[in-house]
Structures are given as C-alpha cells and as structure tokens.
Amino acid sequence: MTCFLPPCRQETAPPPQSQPARFEGDLIMGTGPLCSRVTALLVTFLTLMALAGVTAEEDKGSQERRFTIDYDNNQFLKDGMPFRYVSGSIHYFRVLPSEWRDRLRKLRMAGFNALTTYVEWSSHEPEAGVYDFSGINDLTHFLTIAQEEDLLVILRPGPYIDAERDMGGLPYWLLNKNPDMKLRTSDPTYLNYVDIWFRDVLLPKVKPLLYENGGPIIMLQVENEYGYQPECDFAYTSHLRDLMVESLGKGPVLFTTDGDEVDDLKCGKIPEVYATVDFGSSTNVTEAFGAMRLFEPRGPLVNSEYYPGWLDYWSVPHSTVKAEKVASNLDEMLALNASVNVYVFHGGTSFGFTAGSDFENRFMPCPTSYDYDAPLSEAGDPTEKYWVLRNVTGKYLPLPPGEVPPASPKFGYGKVSLAPTGSVFQMADLLQKVTNKWPLTFEELLVPNGIVVYQTVLPFRIADPARLTLGDIHDRGYVFVDTEFAGMVSREQDMYDLAIYARPNQTITIVVESQGRVCYGHQINDFKGITTNVTLSDHTLEGWTMTPLPITHTSRLQNALTRLHSWAVAQNIPPLGLLGTNKGGMTFFSGSFQVPGDSSHPRDTFLRLDGWNKGVAWVNDFCLGRYWPEVGPQVTLYVPRGVLHQGTNTLLLLEQESAPCLTPDTCHATLQETNIIDGPTPL
C-alpha cells in the first residue's frame, strides 16, 4: 500500500518577532523542525492504518467462505451471517446430463437455495478398481452446474445410500471379494474397500468442491440412516468420520440423518457429527424435532429428508401425497427456522438395472420410474406440488427473478414395428459358459445384474410328476425342460418349487432374473441367482452349466446380437422361427422409428408396451430399464430426448414372458406423449 505525504517547505530563518507557528499550521504546511516530527508521526500513523487495513483484509478473508454451526443461537452461519437452507434432493445418476441444468434451475426457481445429492459408489466403481466419472457419473460437472445455478450443495457420499438403488448403492462385487463380508460394519475386509474408495478416489475429488475452497459443498453426511442398522457398530461410523476429517479437514460440517424416533437416533448419532432427523408430512413436527433435541440440545433444527411423496413397488398401487399437506408441514418447519431438505424434489428414473428392492415381510422390487410423486415429475415437469411448495418457500426466502422453465415438450413418435431377432436359448448357445458341480450365484460369476441361464442334464428317471425345489431363488426363475416351458418360481410370491415331468438326458433349464438387490435393512447382502442347491424328488442335481447374458453391457450385447443374427442367416431360420417360446417369451425383438429433422426434435416421449408382459427395453443402445405393465403401476417407460437423435432410431426389447407377436402386424410398441405410472395393479 502506497501513502502520499504533504511536502515539507524549505527551512528558512523565521522573520523577526514572528509569532510561534500553531501546531495545526505546522501540520498543514509542514514548516520548521516540527515538520520532521509530524512527518514521522504521520508515517507511523499511516503505517499503522495500513497494517490495520491488511489485518482487516486478513480477518475478512478468514471469515469468507465459511459454513459453521452457531450452537449459541441455534442456527447455521454462512460467512459469519445467520443462514437457513431449503434444499431439494436430485440424484445426478437418475437424470441424463443434458437435463441437469434444467432440473437444477427449476429447483432454484422454486426458491430453494441448496441441492442435496447422494454419491453412488456402485455407479462409479462398477467393478473393483474400475472407476467411472464420465457422462451420467460426472459428479464434478453436476455440482459445478449447481453452483452456477446459485445452489449450495449438501453431499451424501455414503458409502451406503439406500435411495431404492440396487444394494443401496454398494457395489455388488463386494459380495464376490468376501461372501461373508459384514456390510456397513467395521469388518476389516469391508473397511479396506471403503477406505480405498473414500481416501484414494472420492474424497480427493470432493475437496476442491468444498465451500471453504470456493466450491458449493457446505455439508457432508456420514453414512446414511445408520440408526436403523441392527449391528450398531460405533467403531465403523467413527472410522468414517475420522476418514472424512483426515481427507477433507475440519472445515465442512459433518452430519447424520436418522428417523425421528429416539431409538432411530441411538445408533445413528456419532460424536462430533451433527445429528439430524427425517420425516414426512404425516409426522408431528414438534415431536420429531423433540427427539432430535435429545441428541442435539443446541444448534439448528434440521429435517434432512422431508418426504413430499413416496416410493413405488411393482404390483402395488402408485403412492401419492396431497400437495396441501406437504406444504402445510413445510410451512410449520420453516416457521421454526428449521432447515429442510425435500426428498426428493425430482426423482428421475432408475435407468438400466439400477432399481433396488425392499424386504418387508416379503420381497418387493421397485419399478424403473422414481417419480416419487415429487414436485418435479419423472420427466422434470413442474407439478401442482411444485407451485404449492414454491409459494411456501417464498414466504421465507426470496424467490429468484425470472420465469420458471416450462415443462419439456413431448411428442408421440407413434407405432414401432418389431420383429424377433433371436431367443435367449439361441444366444446362450453362442456365449461363453461356466461349469461347476453346484450352481453359482451371480456374484460368484461376476455378473452385476440381469439374467443367467442355468442348465443341467437329468441323469436319472423321475416320478411323474416330480417336485423341483429351488430353495431360495433370487429372484425369478423360468423353468424349461429342453425348451418347453414348465413353470415359474418367484421370490416375490414366495414360490420355490413346482411339479415337472422330464425323461433321462433331457436338459432342465432355469432362466434366472435378478429384480434388484435389497436396498435397505439387514438383507442388503442380497446374493442373486440360484443361491442353494436344486433338488428333484429329493435328489440333488449336479453338473451345472451357467451362461450369463451380456445385457448389462451395451457393446457386449450388440456383439452377441450380431453373432445371433449371423447364425440365423447361416441356418436360414425364418423370423418367427427365432421365437423362444410359443408365446414369444425369452426373445429379443428389434425395430426402428423416425425422429423428424426439424429443430424442435428430438423431444421427450414415453414407451408404451400394450400386449407385452415383462422385460427390458433399450433405445439406441441406452437401457431404459425394466418394464412390467402386466402388474403395474408403471405402464410406460420414460424416453428422455437426450437418448434420441434426428433420423432413424432403434428400439430393442428382451421379452421374458409373452409378446403380441403371433403375427407380424400385431408385433409393435408405441411412443406416446403421456406418461402412465399409476396404472392398474393386481388385487
């Protein structure tokens, strides 16, 4: 800092009988010997001022980019000022990157000032030591867009996240590394892989994004709803805390999330980590926060998961929650100066095979749609609930200027004619096989999800009929004698045996489908496939051949389909001869459709499969997910515009049970403008 001083006049002899110059005059004019003293004083004064200015700048700098808890006043502080967040959950792995900014801007335009998102370990490390932070897994890009849209970030890095994802977001291969591994505990084998993932991979990516480092992340969650975990392993949760502090420092606020009952918080609370609660609109707000206060007597009130809707299950009616009730409870919490995260503000879609399942008295798989009756629909459109909640938020936080982005334009691309391209059995004959005396699980076969074909040759004569018992099948098994369908076993329906008739040397084939690993509770170590020995009339069947279908890997699937097509041409097999069963089950079907070339296309659309029963759908090699309109409530699959392109687009189905394709003119699907996720379900 440069200081400019008034110049001293040239010293001359004073005139005779002159009056002593006044101090003020000397200071102003800088005359006489006093000039030196004054100048010295002035230099000292200005130097001190300069140093004070530097100190003030340093103090100001030290106060900048800080997010803390003010325990004395029961509030958060952002840059030293009182702060309260209203956040919404959006999961980057359930939304195409092309739509991230649209969803985040709609969140901000609802008056929300923060985003909450999970980090899904299984998406980023699909196989041990293989990492993916590209495309839909580009976490840094997603959080950067959030910051550009003026949103702070509350990050929930897991390692377990639940979120109705396969195995709660934990990678399946952990079960291959050690089948006896105790997940979510201080089991050394589990902690070894958690440490590698957190310390060496994830947290170094997170650190530059912390608020104190100029990024948007103000808080990080340690584990997730651990109070529900029966092991109650404090060594594990404390280890995660220490790991995060070691990697990120003591700057970011760490917190836990648990249910609103005292028992929920007993195992969830971690020393030196702020405990918060979660609850929905049917909960008494005062009682819920009262439970939190037993564990956090001082500090801000926080609901880390406020539910505006609820999840769905296949064959169970679609869940809805009235907008007025959600708004009323939100208003009540904000009036208490609580911070709230709406879970979820936008649910999106569990594309591919990522949807998980629950186990509450019975196995309950989740559908592909994660609409959740949220303020933004599965396609990202503002719903009535969006506007109602925006009105509440606007009472407590300023609404940003400008218009809320509109719903995305939709288009019905019409009928898509389909034709069979080969059966599961024909494809399996062309693929690499694994043999073993006993059947192996998906995890032992290093199959993340999808379908495995199990086969054994019957070596002896059996009674007519005989009882085939598969023990604890995970999750759905289609039984064939040679290629004739014999029946089905189902974990969901608690059906594990059936009567069959077979002769010696016939092949018993069991096509086993994984419907998503359990995402919550003590059964998340959910092995898939044939998990016990198979018996026939009390005789244990041996000598198994197992063929994984490559349906979870796009390029491998395309290679397999290409080989299947070449084989069919070489064998001169007519199209209908490629059907797997007489109802069109266990068959791949393909077709194409056109997207107009004008600038308004492509647009969002929805795949409707009337007459089809259960299977998996791909558009342009992108796996939309599982369909099952036969049981509902989800009838259509969301096709985001980001997977389409102008011109010719492809549709591929793997139908497992029954297709409307006995004649070519009935073999089609439809792309329509409207989504149906509340269709009829069984009684």
Spatial CA neighbour of 108 closest among 521, 402, 539, 443: 402
Residues 6+ apart with CB under 8 A from 365: 313, 314, 355, 356, 357, 475, 492, 515, 516
Spatial CA neighbour of 397 closest among 87, 146, 111, 81: 111
The end-to-end CA distance of the chain, in Å, is: 80
Half-sphere exposure of 442 (CA within 13 A, CB side): 28
CA distance readout (Å), 189 to 19, 120, 138, 310, 521: 93, 20, 28, 35, 20
225 is an active site residue: yes
Decide if 158 contacts 234 (C-beta within 8 A).
no
CA distance 609 to 601: 23
513 is an active site residue: no
Can you spell out the DSSP letters for 210-247? BGGGTSSEEEEE-SSSGGG-TT--HHHHHHHHHHHHHH
Instruction: Read off φ and ψ for residue 430, nearest 5 degrees.
Output: -100, 0
Decide if 488 contacts 497 (C-beta within 8 A).
no
CA distance 35 to 40: 8
Residues 6+ apart with CB under 8 A from 591: 416, 417, 418, 419, 650, 651, 668, 669
Catalytic residue among 120, 296, 305, 657: 305
On the question of a cis peptide bond just before residue 575, with omega within 30 degrees of 0, the verdict is: no
CA distance 141 to 6: 55
CA distance 150 to 111: 11
**Please, what's the b/e burial string for 71-107 (b: 16 or more CB within 10 A of its CB; e: otherwise)?**
eeebbbbbeeeebbbbbbbbbbbbbbbebbebbbbbb
Spatial CA neighbour of 237 closest among 181, 174, 298, 194: 194
CA distance 339 to 332: 11
CA distance 319 to 332: 23
Decide if 595 contacts 650 (C-beta within 8 A).
no
Structure tokens that stand for 677 in this block:
């996720």
Instruction: Read off φ and ψ for residue 680, nearest 5 degrees.
Output: -65, 150
Kindly tell me the sign of the dihedral angle through the C-alpha atoms of 665, 671, 672, 677: positive
Catalytic residue among 225, 296, 443, 657: 225
Decide if 278 contacts 340 (C-beta within 8 A).
no
Decide if 351 contacts 368 (C-beta within 8 A).
yes
CA angle 594/597/601 to nearest 5° reads 85
On the question of a cis peptide bond just before residue 465, with omega within 30 degrees of 0, the verdict is: yes
Which residues are marked as active site?
Answer: 225, 305
